[in-house]
Amino acid sequence: MNGDDYTRREAAKDAEYERQYRAWIESLPADQRRQLERQGLDRPDTAHHGNGSAKGDAADSPLMRIGDDPAVLPEPEPVPTAAASDAEAIWATVRRVLGEVLNHGNARLTAECIALVSGLGYDGATMTEIAKRHGITRAAVSKRCVELTEMLDLRPSRAMRSLTARKSYRSARITNTSSNELPPHPPQPES
């Protein structure tokens, strides 16, 4: 195929395109023609033909370098979406919960405490009732529940004391125990 034939064919196609585009512009109302003129669209654009494109020959594009063929480039790493990161956070929490249940000496107690701190088991079962079922003190159940809320980064459930109440009880307990301390023992004579 001769290069001159190609150039003539492309010139003929461009001339036909220009004629049809001008006819279309002329068929529009005056206000639409003015709008196209403001946007720079009132004339046909055939700059992409002829001696390469308006931006140069496509072969000069960095996208066309040897080895950069998009069809053979590796797929990009998927960008984690919010849903994917939420799912991973959920699974990480499930793994921690299961680890606690499986590795704690009393799996049933841990399961009941997890139900209590999550709000799932708040059907009226109190820490006192859980403690009685397991033969331990209410304080032991409370301690286990606090450990679980901290491990799972949860706020205390309705069945638990609030963080503020726990802090004030702790402060009162420290004040009470420090005022009830026994005086130090007198020095013992050396023998």
The domain limits of the chain are: 3-50, 85-166
- Amino acid (1-letter code) at residue 124: G
The CATH number for 85-166, chosen from 1.10.472, 1.10.357, 3.40.1350, 1.10.10, is 1.10.472
Q: What is the pTM of this model?
A: 0.44
Give the integer Cα–Cα distance in Å for 10 and 47: 12
Q: What local confidence, expressed as pLDDT, does residue 64 receive?
A: 61
Q: What local confidence, expressed as pLDDT, does residue 135 receive?
A: 92
- In the predicted model, is pLDDT for residue 92 greater than 60? yes
Model pLDDT for residues 93-140, shown as the tens digit of each residue? 888 888 888 888 888 888 888 888 887 765 567 888 889 989 999 888
Place of tokens 């980064």: 153
Model pLDDT for residues 56-87, shown as the tens digit of each residue? 566 666 656 666 566 666 677 777 666 767 88
Find the helix or strand (DSSP H, E) in which 38 lies.
helix 30-38
Instruction: For the chain, give percent helix, strand, coil, nearest 5.
Output: 60, 0, 40
